[in-house]
Structure 1
């Protein structure tokens, strides 16, 4: 935007001497905008639309409602309407603000915003969309602040704003005069100040954005100063734990010894809530002891009759038949099973709640705080305006904190006992009763002839994914903009079709999803549908290459659709020394994935000589996200996706036994340990290939799943079909 009017951005004095910049709502929405400032429209071809596009479209009307202040001491504060869960978002946003304001990064403070209902669809963190959706609005907001500071300096020095420059948090005049931003904060907040325009820098002029940068919160995390939900000092909040049912979704029928438990040392309250029996005590130790002493009679849950074999049979039966009959055409058929998987964030589900008769205040790590606030208000019988929801930085999510069940549960307990509570889910609670990635069954058929792939069909049956956290509303609000074939699909199918796409010229390509209700609590898990679906497809790509007598890397390179895709694949193969000779029982695997306007290729080496301890020994990942904001953060995202893929491909999954996961801790849910990680991991960030960033948070899992499975197949001479590969019950389950 080259000429921002004073009506487009409202600058006002919040508390002198402070400059506060915010986008104005209301009348400004009616101001005609230049052609390049209109609400974005979606490209027509279905294969060009992704879920991130829907997020950006839905959030466009409120995209500029951002809050930035410059204080008298030069500190810059930005209120981020998203959640930080370890993905490095606060660092990337701080970089964008510092870049546009020509400020040292250490002067920028990014603070998580409370739930703001006026943002509508623009405060949900997910689908690798935060940087994509915030990139322009954050830069424009910061550029406006810079323009106002320059205008204030020009007025004081009686110079034209065009003669002034900014650097290192100061405004500078051609005669050598300079002053820090803080000196102009009060004058810059004057609504009468005339500002001619504010234009974000072109990417070619970036000095900070695009440079590898360490996390702004790293020191606080490693020294223990970073505050998470249970670290908050909320006056009067007492520890709380919940005794949960022996099966998923079970209900409380009666508590035989509630009075005796209330008499135990330190116990303050024993209350029944829809999810179980809550104990509030002076210490967590006392609360846990009291919880263990409860004698509860439980009612059944909706999934009590389900175990792994029953679920697998249901999914197989629900998988639609393949449409293309093989007849006399050569073909590859394959079927795959993927188990349920826990999100397993390091910080378990937790919340602090202070519910009074006329108001409520909640603190928790929340990725959908607007829906959380609305739901909690309705549950408590309070007007939404009487409920304050604070978003707290969380220790991991991977999709788990899209749901706010901990915050809702804490609010219920606080209301029932009439005091603030500090709710903690134990690790067993989190593993057994948390949300999980749905189990899936896949049926794939690819036909080929004369060196060409003629058709590629993929049918997926999945345990139903729960999207009641705001994402469904976003898709519904933008459904009219979807092309025929997507716009008339169900919610889950729309999400599937806008995230899962084949990057290959494989003739007639069809991908379809069928969901099976199970009563098991599910949720979006990192990469949602793509991790399993594209992972399975990449296995079949290897098998197609073998049928056609071609090298897996060269086969992919031949059939990829674009030069950008091939560049990433070529870089991974070259840097990973594809095709090198390896000992028997060891092998390389390679795979490709494209999603959220980004693309990646992963090459791994695996050592399967000891079938009891298969290990990925090396990984080389090439990634192209268009314009990388923080390459160091991008490297971390891709490494994290690799570890997720190693875990869920080799050993980590949940066994469902009569309506409850058997796993109850990290010792049983076999997530990759340090000893399981590759000795060598290289992430190559491709040079910027555009003016805008693509998504990265979920990008790294699918290609790594395919590469690991393909390496395993080559090392062992087998065809992997069920994941995780090593899925024995090698532990004694905790009591129900």
Structure 2
């Protein structure tokens, strides 16, 4: 759907001493409404199920609400944009700053992007996920900045008594034909005058962009590498004292008694010891003192919901829950394959953390949050406070990969602060984060393909997964858009809807069916980068290679034959050509390739692998081609694809969690074998296809194709058929005590 066809934009002047604007993005199918009007009926999507895209659902859910984006121009020329999304390292603040600077013809370093606090009036427009931020913000941000530019031009025109059409903008200033120049800061007050006559504002055509589409370094890069970037635990909140939790020996276990609470309270520096639903919290003058006191606690624990579960029991449950395949392999050749994927930690560099200051009549929370509205609602309910008495500040976070959709630390910190009557700075240790954090669910896959006369007649994929928890706002979004979904999808549950709107085969494979069955276990889970696609499409790409081999076809040519359109084939061809597909490799080394399409974008990944040292299988080269429609910042896009590649190398080769009697054995990076620098390919090339249309999603795009490519390269190098991931999954460490 075209941008103008999908939404109309209404910009209003905000009462302020300098120029401040807010833009509401609303569907052009809706009647005009104020910010306080009831949501209107959501416009319908096209009927065919394969046209439904989760990102479009996000945009539709936000269309009827007060989608207010706030931009301010200060008298010093600084342009401040309030971003209702979370920056977790994906480069979103840089891309948004580029959009603002582009429309205002301002230097990029004049733009400051600040993260908005939780704003419940935004309803469905403050959840960061599903590769949707740039897709949903691209139009609204440009229109907001264009409206600001129009007011600045109008202010200069009135000051100089010149027609607006004779004026231009450049380098953060308005320029007149006679050489006069007015910096934006000098015009900010005049541009805020409600009586100012302003012409309609229209964003630049993409053909006029000079910054957007150009590789650009991150606006926060210097702060991050010099230690000036302030994360949650860097914040100076008056009176907030360090806090850690003693957590149960099994997932979801409960506190039944603390034998030595008073003795621990008497330890040096300890300020309080309180019990909350998730464990026993120690508040102290320093984190070192808090950790010592935590270790000294003698706690009796009640059972958790998954105490009897280990990997073997999980695999048995998943296999039993996998529905049967329907197409009987009676008259045609066929291929059956089954795959298992382990639990995986999100493992962001910054562990869970939050600062909370809870008083009897109000509360203030600081944390890295991707769903701050739901966090605010949940915390307010838990504290028994009105929603407007709970302020939730969104802080830039050091990684997420889906983890910060949940707000465990923020809720815990609020409960601890209330219990001890003082502000607290809660830190999850690395062991806490690895063992008690949410994880990507384990999955089992059953696939059958049939063919005849060189044509694939059917492709069935049955997925059984440990249930994914979506109680972070996604459920509300899907509920809001349910009426607009095609028959079948609209009646599905949250998980089913997400699966059906993200997992699609890009191939003409005859009768194609992909289904999901979820198994409740009580294990804390959450969306992990690419959610269902990483495993599901990764497994499918392995089967595609095996079908090609059965038919005596080259894997690239086989994919070209069955891909659905020219844009897909162009991406595949680019990766194959640039990666020199088919070149001679030494024994034990091989190439692998795979393709994936999602969120309006498509990518192909070619890797080379060296398996000659079984103790250190290594991806030595990777070539990635991606078509994301219109890239705002190609450099940021490259970083996203490299991150997806690294996630795929990690979880395909070595990184996973062993569940043992209700708790993961892994407790640190030394045990959860995420790829180190020595495991990453020395030769990586990313090729971004020429810009067309509007931006597609990119944050999760790179993982599934890379998973398939690595598995396929391993199969070709070793002559085996990989079926269980990660491939090297031994317990080669001594677990930490429970």
- TM-score (norm. length: structure 2): 0.97
Q: Is 1:63–1:137's contact at 8 Å kept on the other side of the alignment?
A: no
Deviation string, structure 1 residues 425-470 (Cα, Å, up to 9, x no partner): 0000000000000000000000001000000000000000000000
Equivalent runs, 1:176-215 vs 2, <5 Å: 176-215=179-218
Q: Is 2:216–2:634's contact at 8 Å kept on the other side of the alignment?
A: yes
Unaligned runs of 5+ in 1: none
2:365 alignment counterpart: 362
1:301 alignment counterpart: 304
Q: Is 2:23–2:143's contact at 8 Å kept on the other side of the alignment?
A: no
1:31 aligns with 2:49: no
What's the RMSD between the two structures over aligned residues? 1.7
2:289 alignment counterpart: 286
1:577 alignment counterpart: 580
Q: Is 1:63–1:134's contact at 8 Å kept on the other side of the alignment?
A: no
Equivalent runs, 1:546-695 vs 2, <5 Å: 546-690=549-693, 692-695=694-697
1:226 aligns with 2:229: yes
* Alignment counterpart, residue 698 of structure 1, candidates 690, 697, 700: 700
Q: Aligned residue pairs: how many? A: 727
1:172 alignment counterpart: 175
* Post-superposition offset of 1:175: 1.6
Which range is displaced more, 538-547 or 151-160?
A: 151-160
1:726 aligns with 2:728: yes
Deviation string, structure 1 residues 588-639 (Cα, Å, up to 9, x no partner): 0000000000000000000001111100000000000000000000000000
* Post-superposition offset of 1:32: 8.9
Q: Is 2:449–2:456's contact at 8 Å kept on the other side of the alignment?
A: yes
2:21 alignment counterpart: 21
* Post-superposition offset of 1:641: 0.1
* Alignment counterpart, residue 402 of structure 1, candidates 378, 402, 405: 405
Tell me, in whole angstroms, the C-alpha distance in 2 between the residues paired with 1:597 and 1:31. Answer: 29
1:440–1:389: structure 2 CA closer, same or farther, 3 Å change rule? same
Which range is displaced more, 54-63 or 342-351?
A: 54-63
* Alignment counterpart, residue 374 of structure 1, candidates 367, 374, 377: 377
Tell me, in whole angstroms, the C-alpha distance in 2 between the residues paired with 1:344 and 1:650. Answer: 16
- SS across alignment from 2:595: strand
1:713 aligns with 2:715: yes
Q: Is 1:13–1:186's contact at 8 Å kept on the other side of the alignment?
A: no
Deviation string, structure 1 residues 171-223 (Cα, Å, up to 9, x no partner): 01112211101111011101111112000011111110000000000000000
* Post-superposition offset of 1:63: 6.3
Tell me, in whole angstroms, the C-alpha distance in 2 between the residues paired with 1:64 and 1:39. Answer: 14
Tell me, in whole angstroms, the C-alpha distance in 2 between the residues paired with 1:284 and 1:342. Answer: 24
* Alignment counterpart, residue 259 of structure 1, candidates 236, 257, 262: 262
Tell me, in whole angstroms, the C-alpha distance in 1 between the residues paired with 2:31 and 2:576. Answer: 52
* Post-superposition offset of 1:31: 3.0
- SS across alignment from 1:603: strand
* Post-superposition offset of 1:50: 1.1
* Alignment counterpart, residue 446 of structure 1, candidates 441, 445, 449: 449
* Alignment counterpart, residue 489 of structure 1, candidates 492, 504, 511: 492
- SS across alignment from 1:498: helix
Tell me, in whole angstroms, the C-alpha distance in 2 between the residues paired with 1:165 and 1:639. Answer: 40
Tell me, in whole angstroms, the C-alpha distance in 1 between the residues paired with 2:25 and 2:735. Answer: 55
* Alignment counterpart, residue 50 of structure 1, candidates 50, 53, 57: 53
- SS across alignment from 1:62: coil
Q: Is 2:42–2:481's contact at 8 Å kept on the other side of the alignment?
A: no
Equivalent runs, 1:56-135 vs 2, <5 Å: 56-62=59-65, 64-135=67-138
- SS across alignment from 2:71: strand
* Post-superposition offset of 1:24: 6.0
Tell me, in whole angstroms, the C-alpha distance in 2 between the residues paired with 1:139 and 1:189. Answer: 19
Tell me, in whole angstroms, the C-alpha distance in 1 between the residues paired with 2:521 and 2:83. Answer: 37
Which range is displaced more, 458-467 or 485-494?
A: 485-494
* Post-superposition offset of 1:25: 9.7
1:523 aligns with 2:526: yes
1:642–1:384: structure 2 CA closer, same or farther, 3 Å change rule? same
* Post-superposition offset of 1:61: 2.4
Tell me, in whole angstroms, the C-alpha distance in 2 between the residues paired with 1:616 and 1:636. Answer: 18
* Post-superposition offset of 1:43: 2.3
* Post-superposition offset of 1:328: 2.2
Q: Is 2:370–2:404's contact at 8 Å kept on the other side of the alignment?
A: yes
Q: Is 1:13–1:190's contact at 8 Å kept on the other side of the alignment?
A: no
Which range is displaced more, 189-198 or 640-649?
A: 189-198
* Alignment counterpart, residue 477 of structure 1, candidates 480, 495, 498: 480
1:391–1:47: structure 2 CA closer, same or farther, 3 Å change rule? same
